[in-house]
Amino acid sequence: MSTMLRRWLVGEPLPTAAAGEQKLPKYLALPVFASDALSSTAYGPEEVLLALAAAGALALGYSVGIVIAISVLIAIVTFSYRQTVYAYPSGGGSYIVAKDNLGVLPGLFAASALLIDYVLTVAVSIAAGVAAILSAYPALLEARVGICLAVLALVVMANLRGVRESGLAFALPTYLFIASFTVMIVVGAVRAFAGLPPVVHPAPLHPEGPLAAVSIFLILRAFASGCSSMTGLETVSNGVPVFRPPESRNAAITMVTIGGTLIFLIMGLTLLARHFGVNPDLTLRETVASRVAEAVAGRSWIYYAVQWTTMLVLVIAANSAFAGFPRLAAVLGGDGFAPRQLRNLGDRLVFANGILLLGILAGVLLVIFRGETTRLIPLYAVGVFLSFTLSQAGMVRRWFRLRTRGWQVAAVVNGIGAITTGLVLVVIVVAKFIHGAWAVVVLIPLLVLAFRKVHAHYDALSRQLTLAGYTPRRVLRHQALVLVGGVHRGVVEALIYARAIDPDCEAVFVEIDPAETPALRTKWAEWGQGVPLTVVPSPWRSLTGPLIQYIATVRQERGLDMVTVVIPEFATTRWWHRLLHNQSGLVLKWRLMFQRNVVVTNVRYWVK
């Protein structure tokens, strides 16, 4: 039953031999790695406006300056990471770069930040994608969380089936997204230069008056919120080996293209929003991108193209986290910092455990934050910027260590990257601390602690399991004890089994009601298969207590290394039959599980 369900959901299993990487041309690699970064256009500029709106409509003018600052930051990070791409042709995720150059602990911090961020990428991307659709179809607003979870479930299932990220199906949405936004920006720019009014006049800001004064803190908070646009910028550095040769060069070109496109999109959207006077919707019913598209082109095909391609690219972005998270979790599992089963390849050659874990965590976030992007944003950028900083600081360290040709310039580029992203990290944590960033600040070190605990356990385990210096014993002094509660076929079969594994086995009867013993002895004489029977009295009617006591006595008196307790058991075909039999066997098994040098063996007798 469960197997059939799994086959239907996930598909037939694939043989291990089917694994293998595919090399990608740039035009396919770009969409694979770009979706995460570019899709953040859908929420980054909006978050800047939402934060500024607290100081009223006039404060929205600051958004242009803030987005320019973010664009500069994007350029810095892009060029900094460009160097990582060259330095780590086999893939240089933050965890690897930080671990390699700064040590294990910073590596774990980077890993912790990345894992948290993958979860948030999924939650934020799905929430923002659904928001785009809800803007176009407000009738669906009530079902926001439900739609989010349905989309999440689809993405999880597709990943368990093992989607090929590199397919055209994945490339197309990203290109369509770039195209539809470009059309919108160009049309909007033309209308702006022609001095035409917006097609649909934007809704006023509601409430109109300022709730807070424009302060440095407010500006910083808007900036911090906008930095969510920079998530996903580093993905190329993880996947250099996927590019066609020359891998690093192609990856670097792709990296810079992504950075440039991202700047174009967020600047374009922000300038149009300012030009047409678009305000953010504080009730979160409509996105800024939806309002800008409406102002530029009304509810035309351009509008719907923008909404649907936004949704699609965000789903693809969420999907990219489903590649990244399980891969990083598997690497951590391989290094002994996370449970080893995260390395297991599922039926379809994917890290199924990691995929499920990510799906569950993102689902919980979507439910808690009711599928609203803006509630999730304060948690988001902390992890990204911590991993940026660690990765680039690691690169600086690397240049100082290797001192290859031109290392000074490279170190300066990465140094600027590390310092600026480090500063931004501080800004983000401070500006959004009470809004939710504190949770991530607390969680990252806790996760690091967990990694270390896990590692310590695996370490201790391998030390205890090592064969070096181990001398196995020659002979195992062993005896089988059969627990009997009566004499019937099931018991006789268990006796025959016990005699097969130990010709000197013994039967034990725990005497709860002494009145039953004489009848048992009589039957034993005929059916006991010659196995000696010991009656252990139990004046308090406990089965386990006297048995455990007796086992201990036997082990000591006979100098046994190991005792096997054979328990005859009924196996029935109907579940409710189990309720009709004494479950004392279960209690007994549980208690014996904590006894060392005792092996419990159930011999089942099948009942029709």
- Exactly one of 360, 364, 442, 571 binds its own copies (CB under 8 A); that residue is 571
Question: In terms of C-beta density within 10 A (0-12 exposed, 13-18 middle, 19 or more buried), how is residue 604 classed?
Answer: middle
Assess 461 for contact with its own copies (CB under 8 A).
Answer: yes
Closest CB 460 distance from its own copies, rounded Å: 7
Task: Taking each helix axis as running N to C, give the angle between helix 373-402 and helix 44-52, from 0 to 180 degrees, rounded to the nearest 10.
Answer: 120
Assess 6 for contact with its own copies (CB under 8 A).
Answer: no
- Exactly one of 5, 17, 194, 216 binds its own copies (CB under 8 A); that residue is 17
- Exactly one of 488, 521, 550, 554 binds its own copies (CB under 8 A); that residue is 488
* Identity of the residue, 302 or 592, whose beta carbon is nearer to its own copies in the bound complex: 592
Assess 490 for contact with its own copies (CB under 8 A).
Answer: yes
- Residue 24 bridge partners (DSSP): 243
For the chain, what percentages of helix, strand and coil (3-state, to nearest 5) are there? 70, 5, 25
Can you tell me which residue has the tokens 């270390």? 452
CA 133 to chain centre: 25
- Exactly one of 23, 201, 403, 577 binds its own copies (CB under 8 A); that residue is 577
- Exactly one of 90, 467, 556, 559 binds its own copies (CB under 8 A); that residue is 467
Assess 457 for contact with its own copies (CB under 8 A).
Answer: yes
DSSP 499-525: HHH-TT-EEEEEESSGGGHHHHHHHHH
Can you tell me which residue has the tokens 């989607």? 163
Within residues 26-85, the interface with its own copies by CB under 8 A covers none
The pair of structure tokens assigned to 591 is 């208690």
* Identity of the residue, 194 or 465, whose beta carbon is nearer to its own copies in the bound complex: 465
Segment lying near its own copies (by CB under 8 A), choices 43-51, 76-84, 89-97, 480-488: 480-488
Parallel/antiparallel/unpaired status of strands 562-572 and 478-484: parallel
Within residues 285-344, the interface with its own copies by CB under 8 A covers 339-341, 344
Within residues 165-224, the interface with its own copies by CB under 8 A covers none
- Exactly one of 405, 513, 556, 559 binds its own copies (CB under 8 A); that residue is 513
- Exactly one of 187, 356, 430, 562 binds its own copies (CB under 8 A); that residue is 562
Within residues 345-374, the interface with its own copies by CB under 8 A covers 345-347
- Exactly one of 113, 148, 487, 520 binds its own copies (CB under 8 A); that residue is 487
Assess 492 for contact with its own copies (CB under 8 A).
Answer: yes
Q: How far apart are CA 9 and CA 5, in angstroms?
A: 6
DSSP 231-270: TTTTHHHH-GGGBPSSHHHHHHHHHHHHHHHHHHHHHHHH
Within residues 517-546, the interface with its own copies by CB under 8 A covers 523, 526-527, 529, 539-542
Assess 16 for contact with its own copies (CB under 8 A).
Answer: yes
Question: In terms of C-beta density within 10 A (0-12 exposed, 13-18 middle, 19 or more buried), how is residue 514 classed?
Answer: exposed
Can you tell me which residue has the tokens 């209308």? 191
* Identity of the residue, 283 or 582, whose beta carbon is nearer to its own copies in the bound complex: 582
Closest CB 366 distance from its own copies, rounded Å: 24
Among residues 136, 150, 156, 122, the alpha carbon closest in space to that of 35 is found at 122
* Identity of the residue, 244 or 457, whose beta carbon is nearer to its own copies in the bound complex: 457
- Exactly one of 179, 442, 500, 586 binds its own copies (CB under 8 A); that residue is 500
